[in-house]
Amino acid sequence: MSDIRSFTVADDGVGARLDKFLADQMPEFSRSEIQRFKILLNGADARAATRLRAGDTITVDIPAPKSDVAADNISSDFDLNIIYEDDDIIVIDKPRGVVMYPSAGNKTGTLVQNVLAHCHLSALGGETRPGVVHRLDKDTSGVMVFAKSDAAFRALVKTFSSHDLVRRYVAFVWGVPNWEGADIIGNIARSSRNRQKMTMVKSGGKPAHTQVNVMSVWPRAGVSAFRCNLLTGRTHQIRVHLSAHGFPVLCDPVYGRASGRLASTRDPDLLEFLHDHNGQMLHAEYLEFNHPTTGERVHFKSHLPDDMEALKCILDDIG
Protein backbone atom coordinates (compact mmCIF):
# COMPACT_ATOMS: atom_id res chain seq x y z
CA MET A 1 0.00 0.00 0.00
CA SER A 2 1.08 3.57 -0.62
CA ASP A 3 1.84 6.02 2.19
CA ILE A 4 -0.28 9.22 2.14
CA ARG A 5 1.21 12.22 3.95
CA SER A 6 -0.28 15.70 4.39
CA PHE A 7 1.32 19.02 5.29
CA THR A 8 0.16 22.59 5.85
CA VAL A 9 2.51 25.45 5.05
CA ALA A 10 3.29 27.68 8.03
CA ASP A 11 4.88 31.14 7.92
CA ASP A 12 8.43 29.74 7.86
CA GLY A 13 7.62 27.83 4.67
CA VAL A 14 6.32 30.78 2.67
CA GLY A 15 8.23 31.29 -0.58
CA ALA A 16 9.95 27.91 -0.50
CA ARG A 17 9.92 25.67 -3.55
CA LEU A 18 7.44 22.83 -3.21
CA ASP A 19 10.07 20.09 -3.61
CA LYS A 20 12.51 21.82 -1.21
CA PHE A 21 9.78 22.17 1.40
CA LEU A 22 8.91 18.48 1.11
CA ALA A 23 12.58 17.47 1.27
CA ASP A 24 12.83 19.32 4.59
CA GLN A 25 9.68 17.62 5.85
CA MET A 26 10.71 14.16 4.62
CA PRO A 27 14.53 13.96 4.92
CA GLU A 28 14.48 10.24 4.22
CA PHE A 29 13.79 11.03 0.55
CA SER A 30 15.92 12.99 -1.93
CA ARG A 31 14.41 15.81 -3.98
CA SER A 32 14.69 13.71 -7.13
CA GLU A 33 12.71 10.93 -5.42
CA ILE A 34 10.10 13.39 -4.18
CA GLN A 35 9.62 14.78 -7.68
CA ARG A 36 8.48 11.32 -8.81
CA PHE A 37 5.75 11.11 -6.17
CA LYS A 38 2.11 12.05 -6.77
CA ILE A 39 1.81 15.50 -5.18
CA LEU A 40 -1.30 17.66 -4.83
CA LEU A 41 -1.14 21.31 -3.80
CA ASN A 42 -4.50 22.54 -2.53
CA GLY A 43 -6.08 19.54 -4.25
CA ALA A 44 -4.50 20.09 -7.68
CA ASP A 45 -1.37 18.93 -9.47
CA ALA A 46 1.59 21.24 -9.02
CA ARG A 47 5.08 21.69 -10.41
CA ALA A 48 8.08 20.97 -8.18
CA ALA A 49 9.27 24.58 -8.57
CA THR A 50 5.98 26.11 -7.34
CA ARG A 51 6.52 28.67 -4.60
CA LEU A 52 4.42 28.12 -1.47
CA ARG A 53 2.06 30.46 0.39
CA ALA A 54 0.90 30.39 3.99
CA GLY A 55 -1.93 27.90 4.53
CA ASP A 56 -1.24 25.84 1.42
CA THR A 57 -2.12 22.20 1.92
CA ILE A 58 0.05 19.52 0.37
CA THR A 59 -0.78 15.85 -0.07
CA VAL A 60 1.95 13.39 -1.04
CA ASP A 61 1.23 9.86 -2.26
CA ILE A 62 4.37 7.79 -1.64
CA PRO A 63 4.21 4.48 -3.50
CA ALA A 64 5.09 1.30 -1.66
CA PRO A 65 8.75 0.38 -2.14
CA LYS A 66 9.38 -2.04 -4.96
CA SER A 67 10.83 -5.44 -4.13
CA ASP A 68 14.05 -6.86 -5.58
CA VAL A 69 12.21 -10.18 -5.95
CA ALA A 70 11.70 -10.48 -9.71
CA ALA A 71 8.44 -12.42 -9.37
CA ASP A 72 6.90 -9.63 -7.26
CA ASN A 73 6.85 -7.25 -10.23
CA ILE A 74 6.24 -9.37 -13.31
CA SER A 75 5.51 -7.14 -16.28
CA SER A 76 5.09 -7.08 -20.04
CA ASP A 77 6.72 -3.79 -20.95
CA PHE A 78 7.81 -4.81 -24.45
CA ASP A 79 7.34 -7.67 -26.90
CA LEU A 80 9.88 -10.42 -26.31
CA ASN A 81 11.84 -11.44 -29.38
CA ILE A 82 12.06 -15.19 -28.72
CA ILE A 83 14.66 -16.91 -30.88
CA TYR A 84 14.12 -20.40 -29.45
CA GLU A 85 12.25 -22.09 -26.61
CA ASP A 86 11.76 -25.61 -25.24
CA ASP A 87 11.02 -27.09 -21.80
CA ASP A 88 14.53 -26.34 -20.50
CA ILE A 89 15.76 -23.10 -22.05
CA ILE A 90 14.52 -19.92 -23.67
CA VAL A 91 16.74 -17.83 -25.95
CA ILE A 92 15.93 -14.12 -26.22
CA ASP A 93 17.12 -11.34 -28.52
CA LYS A 94 17.65 -8.65 -25.87
CA PRO A 95 16.93 -5.05 -26.91
CA ARG A 96 19.32 -2.25 -26.04
CA GLY A 97 18.40 -0.15 -23.03
CA VAL A 98 16.84 -2.95 -20.96
CA VAL A 99 18.27 -3.89 -17.56
CA MET A 100 18.81 -7.60 -16.96
CA TYR A 101 17.19 -8.06 -13.53
CA PRO A 102 15.94 -5.98 -10.56
CA SER A 103 18.55 -3.85 -8.81
CA ALA A 104 18.82 -0.49 -7.08
CA GLY A 105 16.92 2.02 -9.17
CA ASN A 106 15.54 -0.65 -11.52
CA LYS A 107 12.85 -2.56 -9.67
CA THR A 108 10.55 -3.08 -12.65
CA GLY A 109 10.65 -3.39 -16.42
CA THR A 110 13.70 -5.67 -16.46
CA LEU A 111 14.32 -8.44 -18.97
CA VAL A 112 13.88 -11.16 -16.35
CA GLN A 113 10.49 -9.78 -15.30
CA ASN A 114 9.31 -9.67 -18.90
CA VAL A 115 10.48 -13.25 -19.49
CA LEU A 116 8.65 -14.32 -16.32
CA ALA A 117 5.47 -12.87 -17.80
CA HIS A 118 5.91 -15.39 -20.60
CA CYS A 119 7.22 -18.51 -18.85
CA HIS A 120 8.63 -20.03 -15.67
CA LEU A 121 12.36 -19.70 -14.95
CA SER A 122 14.55 -21.82 -12.69
CA ALA A 123 14.51 -20.62 -9.09
CA LEU A 124 18.12 -21.69 -8.63
CA GLY A 125 19.26 -18.29 -9.84
CA GLY A 126 17.72 -16.75 -6.74
CA GLU A 127 14.76 -14.45 -6.19
CA THR A 128 16.36 -11.53 -8.03
CA ARG A 129 17.89 -13.47 -10.94
CA PRO A 130 15.80 -16.57 -11.66
CA GLY A 131 17.08 -18.49 -14.66
CA VAL A 132 20.03 -16.13 -15.22
CA VAL A 133 23.27 -17.90 -16.21
CA HIS A 134 25.00 -14.96 -17.93
CA ARG A 135 24.31 -11.28 -18.50
CA LEU A 136 24.55 -8.45 -20.99
CA ASP A 137 25.01 -4.82 -20.02
CA LYS A 138 21.89 -2.63 -20.14
CA ASP A 139 22.95 -0.97 -23.39
CA THR A 140 24.29 -4.11 -25.10
CA SER A 141 21.80 -5.93 -27.32
CA GLY A 142 21.71 -9.49 -28.61
CA VAL A 143 21.43 -13.19 -27.86
CA MET A 144 20.78 -14.40 -24.31
CA VAL A 145 19.82 -17.79 -22.90
CA PHE A 146 17.80 -18.34 -19.71
CA ALA A 147 17.31 -21.61 -17.85
CA LYS A 148 13.72 -22.72 -17.38
CA SER A 149 14.46 -26.01 -15.61
CA ASP A 150 16.77 -26.58 -12.65
CA ALA A 151 18.70 -29.22 -14.60
CA ALA A 152 19.32 -26.69 -17.39
CA PHE A 153 20.43 -24.08 -14.88
CA ARG A 154 23.04 -26.35 -13.31
CA ALA A 155 24.39 -27.47 -16.69
CA LEU A 156 24.53 -23.96 -18.17
CA VAL A 157 26.33 -22.55 -15.13
CA LYS A 158 29.03 -25.18 -15.68
CA THR A 159 29.15 -24.38 -19.40
CA PHE A 160 29.68 -20.66 -18.84
CA SER A 161 32.14 -21.25 -16.00
CA SER A 162 34.29 -23.56 -18.14
CA HIS A 163 33.89 -21.31 -21.21
CA ASP A 164 32.81 -24.35 -23.26
CA LEU A 165 30.82 -22.21 -25.66
CA VAL A 166 31.15 -19.64 -28.44
CA ARG A 167 30.18 -16.00 -27.86
CA ARG A 168 30.64 -13.51 -30.68
CA TYR A 169 29.92 -9.82 -30.63
CA VAL A 170 29.93 -7.03 -33.22
CA ALA A 171 31.38 -3.68 -32.12
CA PHE A 172 31.63 -0.38 -33.99
CA VAL A 173 34.78 1.32 -32.73
CA TRP A 174 36.81 4.46 -33.16
CA GLY A 175 40.04 3.92 -35.05
CA VAL A 176 41.29 2.04 -38.11
CA PRO A 177 43.78 -0.75 -37.32
CA ASN A 178 46.74 -1.80 -39.46
CA TRP A 179 46.02 -5.45 -38.70
CA GLU A 180 43.25 -7.91 -39.62
CA GLY A 181 43.06 -9.76 -36.32
CA ALA A 182 44.41 -9.57 -32.79
CA ASP A 183 44.40 -11.41 -29.47
CA ILE A 184 43.86 -9.10 -26.51
CA ILE A 185 44.96 -10.72 -23.27
CA GLY A 186 44.99 -8.76 -20.04
CA ASN A 187 43.62 -9.07 -16.53
CA ILE A 188 40.58 -6.98 -15.61
CA ALA A 189 39.72 -5.59 -12.18
CA ARG A 190 37.44 -2.95 -10.73
CA SER A 191 38.91 0.53 -10.96
CA SER A 192 40.26 1.94 -7.69
CA ARG A 193 39.30 5.45 -8.85
CA ASN A 194 35.76 4.72 -10.01
CA ARG A 195 34.03 1.65 -8.58
CA GLN A 196 31.52 1.72 -11.43
CA LYS A 197 34.28 1.06 -13.97
CA MET A 198 36.54 -1.86 -14.78
CA THR A 199 40.15 -1.51 -15.93
CA MET A 200 43.06 -3.57 -17.22
CA VAL A 201 45.69 -4.29 -14.56
CA LYS A 202 49.23 -5.67 -14.66
CA SER A 203 48.71 -7.75 -11.52
CA GLY A 204 45.65 -9.04 -9.71
CA GLY A 205 42.19 -9.00 -11.22
CA LYS A 206 40.87 -11.83 -13.35
CA PRO A 207 42.38 -13.18 -16.59
CA ALA A 208 40.55 -12.00 -19.72
CA HIS A 209 41.02 -12.97 -23.36
CA THR A 210 39.29 -11.43 -26.38
CA GLN A 211 39.90 -12.43 -30.00
CA VAL A 212 39.29 -9.56 -32.44
CA ASN A 213 38.81 -9.70 -36.21
CA VAL A 214 38.25 -6.71 -38.46
CA MET A 215 34.95 -6.86 -40.35
CA SER A 216 34.90 -3.44 -42.07
CA VAL A 217 36.76 -0.14 -42.00
CA TRP A 218 35.63 3.36 -42.94
CA PRO A 219 38.90 5.34 -43.11
CA ARG A 220 37.32 8.71 -43.85
CA ALA A 221 35.09 8.37 -40.80
CA GLY A 222 37.89 6.92 -38.68
CA VAL A 223 35.64 4.03 -37.66
CA SER A 224 35.87 0.23 -37.89
CA ALA A 225 33.62 -2.74 -37.22
CA PHE A 226 35.13 -5.58 -35.18
CA ARG A 227 33.90 -9.09 -34.55
CA CYS A 228 34.92 -10.08 -31.02
CA ASN A 229 35.06 -13.61 -29.71
CA LEU A 230 34.94 -13.88 -25.92
CA LEU A 231 37.19 -16.61 -24.52
CA THR A 232 36.45 -15.44 -20.99
CA GLY A 233 33.47 -13.51 -19.65
CA ARG A 234 34.54 -10.64 -17.43
CA THR A 235 32.42 -7.59 -16.63
CA HIS A 236 32.64 -5.05 -19.50
CA GLN A 237 35.40 -7.21 -21.02
CA ILE A 238 35.09 -6.17 -24.68
CA ARG A 239 34.57 -2.51 -23.85
CA VAL A 240 37.59 -2.43 -21.51
CA HIS A 241 39.91 -4.41 -23.79
CA LEU A 242 39.12 -2.39 -26.90
CA SER A 243 39.31 0.98 -25.15
CA ALA A 244 42.63 0.09 -23.49
CA HIS A 245 44.09 -0.71 -26.92
CA GLY A 246 42.93 2.50 -28.55
CA PHE A 247 39.67 1.34 -30.15
CA PRO A 248 36.84 2.50 -27.85
CA VAL A 249 33.31 1.45 -28.75
CA LEU A 250 31.21 4.21 -30.29
CA CYS A 251 28.62 5.82 -27.99
CA ASP A 252 30.08 4.10 -24.91
CA PRO A 253 29.43 6.59 -22.07
CA VAL A 254 31.94 4.92 -19.73
CA TYR A 255 34.88 3.82 -21.86
CA GLY A 256 34.21 5.68 -25.11
CA ARG A 257 36.57 8.65 -24.66
CA ALA A 258 34.32 10.49 -27.10
CA SER A 259 35.12 14.19 -26.64
CA GLY A 260 38.18 14.31 -28.90
CA ARG A 261 36.57 12.07 -31.48
CA LEU A 262 33.43 14.18 -31.68
CA ALA A 263 35.48 17.32 -32.16
CA SER A 264 37.12 15.83 -35.25
CA THR A 265 33.88 14.47 -36.76
CA ARG A 266 32.77 16.52 -39.76
CA ASP A 267 29.96 14.51 -41.33
CA PRO A 268 26.65 15.98 -40.10
CA ASP A 269 24.72 12.69 -40.20
CA LEU A 270 27.37 10.86 -38.17
CA LEU A 271 27.66 13.76 -35.76
CA GLU A 272 23.90 13.82 -35.23
CA PHE A 273 23.83 10.07 -34.62
CA LEU A 274 26.64 10.27 -32.06
CA HIS A 275 25.06 13.22 -30.24
CA ASP A 276 21.57 11.73 -30.12
CA HIS A 277 22.31 8.07 -29.48
CA ASN A 278 22.54 6.50 -26.04
CA GLY A 279 24.21 3.14 -25.52
CA GLN A 280 27.41 1.56 -26.79
CA MET A 281 27.40 0.16 -30.32
CA LEU A 282 27.96 -3.42 -29.15
CA HIS A 283 25.78 -6.39 -30.10
CA ALA A 284 25.92 -10.05 -29.03
CA GLU A 285 25.32 -11.63 -32.43
CA TYR A 286 26.06 -15.33 -31.87
CA LEU A 287 25.83 -17.89 -29.07
CA GLU A 288 26.76 -21.58 -29.36
CA PHE A 289 26.79 -24.25 -26.64
CA ASN A 290 25.81 -27.82 -25.84
CA HIS A 291 22.11 -28.05 -25.02
CA PRO A 292 21.95 -28.57 -21.24
CA THR A 293 19.73 -31.64 -21.34
CA THR A 294 20.08 -33.21 -24.80
CA GLY A 295 23.80 -32.55 -25.23
CA GLU A 296 23.22 -31.46 -28.82
CA ARG A 297 25.38 -28.59 -30.05
CA VAL A 298 23.04 -25.66 -30.67
CA HIS A 299 23.67 -22.16 -31.99
CA PHE A 300 21.64 -18.99 -32.17
CA LYS A 301 22.18 -15.76 -34.07
CA SER A 302 20.78 -12.25 -33.86
CA HIS A 303 20.90 -9.72 -36.68
CA LEU A 304 22.21 -6.23 -36.05
CA PRO A 305 19.61 -4.01 -34.34
CA ASP A 306 18.11 -1.10 -36.26
CA ASP A 307 20.35 1.53 -34.67
CA MET A 308 23.54 -0.28 -35.66
CA GLU A 309 22.21 -0.84 -39.17
CA ALA A 310 21.45 2.89 -39.39
CA LEU A 311 24.99 3.68 -38.25
CA LYS A 312 26.42 1.30 -40.84
CA CYS A 313 24.48 3.08 -43.60
CA ILE A 314 25.88 6.44 -42.48
CA LEU A 315 29.41 5.03 -42.44
CA ASP A 316 28.98 3.42 -45.87
CA ASP A 317 28.04 6.83 -47.28
CA ILE A 318 31.13 8.43 -45.74
CA GLY A 319 33.50 5.62 -46.75
Q: What is the mean pLDDT of the chain?
A: 91
pTM of the model: 0.77
Check whether 171 has a pLDDT greater than 70: yes
Average pLDDT over residues 226-255: 95
Closest listed residue to residue 198, CA positions, set 236, 226, 152, 165: 236
For residues 238 and 99, membership in a common domain is answered with no
Looking at the structure, tell me whether residues 316 and 180 fall in a common domain: yes
Contact (CB, 8 A) for 289 and 78: no
CATH number at residue 259: 3.30.2350.10
Q: Which one from 56, 93, 137, 252 is the annotated catalytic residue?
A: 137
pLDDT confidence bin for 259, thresholds 50/70/90: low
Residue 70 has pLDDT above 70, yes or no: no
Tell whether the model's pLDDT for residue 227 goes beyond 90: yes
Query: How far apart are the C-alpha atoms of 253 and 197, rounded to whole Å?
Result: 11
Same domain, 129 and 207: no
Is residue 110 included in any domain, yes or no? Answer: yes
87 is catalytic: no
Tell whether 37 and 16 lie within a shared domain: yes
pLDDT at residue 206 in the model: 94
pLDDT tens sequence across 16-59 = 999 999 989 998 888 877 888 899 999 999 888 899 999 999 99
With a cut of 80, say whether residue 222 has pLDDT above it: yes
Rounded to whole angstroms, the Cα distance separating 41 from 57 reads 6
Whether 179 and 284 map to the same domain: the answer is: yes
> If you compute the radius of gyration of the chain from its CA atoms, what whole number of angstroms results?
24
- Domain-ending residue, one of 162, 197, 226: 162
Q: Which long-range contacts (CB under 8 A, 24 or more apart) does 11-14 make?
A: 11/54, 13/52, 13/54, 14/52, 14/53, 14/54
In the chain, the percentage of residues whose pLDDT exceeds 90 is 74
Same domain as 288, residue 237:
yes
Nearest alpha-carbon partner for 139 in 224, 253, 304: 253
Q: pLDDT confidence of 68, banded at 50, 70, 90?
A: low
**Tens of pLDDT along 4-13?**
999 999 999 9
Q: Are 181 and 212 in contact (CB under 8 A)?
A: yes
- How high is the pLDDT of residue 30? 80
Model confidence pLDDT, tens digit, residues 58-67: 999 988 765 5
* Mean pLDDT score, 67-90: 82
Instruction: Count up the domains in the chain and report the number.
Output: 3
Alpha helices in the chain (DSSP H): 18-25, 31-34, 111-116, 150-162, 237-244, 258-264, 268-276, 306-318
299, part of any domain: no
> Are both 155 and 173 inside the same structural domain?
no
The SS3 assignment for 39 reads strand
24: containing domain: 3-62
Residues shown for the chain: 319
Indicate if 168 and 314 belong to the same structural domain: yes
pLDDT of residue 102: 79
Q: Is residue 298 part of a domain?
A: no
